[in-house]
């Protein structure tokens, strides 16, 4: 059976970042930059005051001390957003607000706290170091320097930087469109009455929530029974999106019609069945630009396959260079049974212990289990050929972030 590694490689080869579009800065939160951005000006743009204080010539205050304060004639206040009307001449100063441009002639700002005023004069109780409390033009970012590169995730800090340089629009990879279909004649939606042989479509809601964590625009195609004609119609609609995610109907049961119907619709099978536990019957295929995942109906299996195979594919199409989920190492608190042959993703609870992570495998690991998902904040990843790890052994875990 196909290994998880090989399945990942097949998926990766099929996925490219979505072609970029121009987007307003406001609407680009969480999207990935598709261009490099240069500083079109210095930042800060002009020498400005880091303090509320007085703009002075340091030479004027050489002899100032607590015992022998030196007086300068105050020429008025420079508020932020205004320029001084005249330069600072010997023996004079300007009161200056944080962020205001340092006037010509001044080379230093003295903080208000080391001064006192008497009439038109300000008394300085300390000789400042020349240049202190001035933020220099370009000291943070030099004009022309490269500030953001393609592949950067636009979050608060990046938005601030783009705004600071006046970029009202940026080139980004747009959000992905994903169609989501739940299959199974036993399924009913959350607002429908439920009979003895029914089960509510929890996967539809779970997968929609997972997709939203990658900012996908989700189109819910609802529930379709295990009926080839009904399936054909609904799957056809889903093939217009970037991704089509199908829950259920990809196993080897008599009523698992998803694969033959997808084949009918021209979807090329790239793999079916992967050596992963849980989640073995996963299907991956492609038609034109649409990538199709058939996920097992069992909720825990569906969740694991989403995290291990689907999420990295979504992240790569979003334009993220680091599309693989981060792993970390944790010490196992209990032995974890593991049969060789498949990569095992056991649900676990991860906890920081001050200087290392500990992970506790949850007791109930059934692929149909919802309770184990509720308590899990990590998947413990055991390679196919590893021996079952014992208490105290270090294992690889994949934190569940969404």
Q: Which is nearer to Mg ion, 238 or 281 (CB)?
A: 281
Q: Which of 17, 296, 348, 389 binds ligand AMP (CB under 6 A)?
A: 296
Q: Which does 204 bind (CB under 5 to 8 A by kind): ligand AMP, Mg ion, none?
A: ligand AMP
Q: Which of 204, 312, 319, 389 binds ligand AMP (CB under 6 A)?
A: 204
Nearest-CA neighbor of 181 among 200, 210, 208?
208
What residue has token string 């996967």?
203
Q: Which of 75, 92, 108, 203 binds ligand AMP (CB under 6 A)?
A: 203
Nearest-CA neighbor of 382 among 339, 323, 320?
339
Instruction: Give the range of 25-33, 111-119, 163-171, 241-249 binding ligand AMP by CB under 6 A.
Output: 241-249
Q: Which does 299 bind (CB under 5 to 8 A by kind): Mg ion, ligand AMP, none?
A: ligand AMP
Residue length of the chain: 402
Q: Which of 184, 238, 278, 361 binds ligand AMP (CB under 6 A)?
A: 184
By the rule CB under 6 A, 228 interacts with ligand AMP:
no
Q: Which is nearer to ligand AMP, 94 or 303 (CB)?
A: 303
Q: Which is nearer to Mg ion, 249 or 312 (CB)?
A: 249
Site residues for Mg ion, 72-131, by CB under 5 A, read none
Instruction: Give the range of 52-60, 101-109, 123-131, 178-186 binding ligand AMP by CB under 6 A.
Output: 178-186
Q: How far is the CB of 205 from ligand AMP (least distance, A)?
A: 9
Q: Which does 278 bind (CB under 5 to 8 A by kind): Mg ion, ligand AMP, none?
A: none
**Strand 92-96 with 53-56, pairing:** antiparallel
Q: Tell me if 254 sits within 8 A of 269, measured CB to CB.
A: no
Please give the Cα distance from 103 to 78 (Å, whole number). 9
By the rule CB under 6 A, 307 interacts with ligand AMP:
no
Q: Which of 53, 69, 174, 248 binds ligand AMP (CB under 6 A)?
A: 248
By the rule CB under 6 A, 174 interacts with ligand AMP:
no
Q: Which does 319 bind (CB under 5 to 8 A by kind): ligand AMP, Mg ion, none?
A: none
Site residues for Mg ion, 263-322, by CB under 5 A, read 297
Q: How far is the CB of 377 from ligand AMP (least distance, A)?
A: 21
By the rule CB under 5 A, 20 interacts with Mg ion:
no
Instruction: Give the range of 138-146, 176-184, 196-204, 284-292 binding Mg ion by CB under 5 A.
Output: 176-184
Q: Which of 128, 278, 299, 312 binds ligand AMP (CB under 6 A)?
A: 299
Site residues for ligand AMP, 32-71, by CB under 6 A, read none
Residue ranges that bind Mg ion, judged by CB under 5 A: 184, 248-249, 297
Residue ranges that bind ligand AMP, judged by CB under 6 A: 182, 184, 186-187, 199, 201-204, 247-249, 251, 253, 296-299, 368
């Amino acid at each position: 059976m196909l290994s998880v590694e090989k399945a990942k490689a097949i998926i990766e080869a099929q996925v490219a970042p979505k072609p970029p579009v121009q987007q307003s800065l406001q609407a680009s939160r969480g999207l990935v930059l598709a261009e490099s951005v240069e500083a079109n000006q210095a930042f800060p743009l002009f020498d400005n005051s880091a303090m509320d204080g007085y703009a002075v010539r340091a030479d004027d205050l050489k002899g100032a001390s607590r015992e022998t304060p030196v007086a300068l004639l105050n020429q008025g206040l420079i508020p932020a957003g205004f320029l001084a009307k005249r330069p600072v001449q010997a023996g004079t100063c300007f009161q200056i607000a944080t962020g205001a441009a340092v006037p010509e002639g001044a080379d230093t700002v003295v903080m208000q706290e080391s001064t006192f005023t008497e009439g038109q004069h300000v008394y300085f109780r300390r000789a400042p170091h020349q240049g202190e409390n001035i933020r220099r033009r370009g000291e943070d970012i030099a004009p022309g320097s490269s500030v953001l590169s393609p592949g950067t995730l636009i979050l608060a800090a990046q938005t601030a930087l783009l705004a600071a340089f006046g970029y009202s629009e940026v080139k980004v990879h747009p959000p992905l469109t994903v169609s989501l279909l739940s299959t199974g004649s036993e399924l009913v939606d959350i607002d429908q009455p439920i009979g003895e042989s029914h089960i509510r479509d929890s996967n539809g809601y779970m997968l929609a929530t997972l997709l939203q964590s990658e900012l996908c625009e989700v189109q819910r195609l609802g529930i379709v029974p295990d009926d080839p004609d009904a399936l054909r119609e609904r799957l056809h609609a889903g093939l217009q999106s970037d991704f089509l995610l199908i829950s259920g109907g990809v196993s080897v049961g008599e009523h698992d019609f998803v694969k033959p119907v997808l084949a009918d619709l021209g979807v090329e099978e790239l793999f079916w069945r992967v050596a992963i536990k849980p989640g073995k019957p996963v299907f991956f295929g492609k038609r034109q630009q649409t990538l199709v995942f058939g996920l097992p109906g069992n909720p825990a299996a569906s969740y694991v396959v989403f995290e291990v195979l689907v999420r990295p594919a979504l992240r790569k199409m979003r334009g993220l260079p680091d599309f693989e989920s981060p792993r970390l190492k944790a010490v196992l608190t209990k032995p974890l049974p593991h049969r060789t042959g498949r990569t095992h993703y056991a649900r676990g609870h991860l906890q920081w212990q001050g200087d290392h992570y500990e992970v506790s495998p949850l007791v109930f690991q059934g692929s149909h289990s919802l309770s184990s998902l509720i308590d899990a904040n990590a998947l413990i990843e055991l390679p196919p050929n590893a021996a079952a790890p014992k208490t105290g052994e270090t294992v690889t875990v994949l934190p569940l972030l969404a």
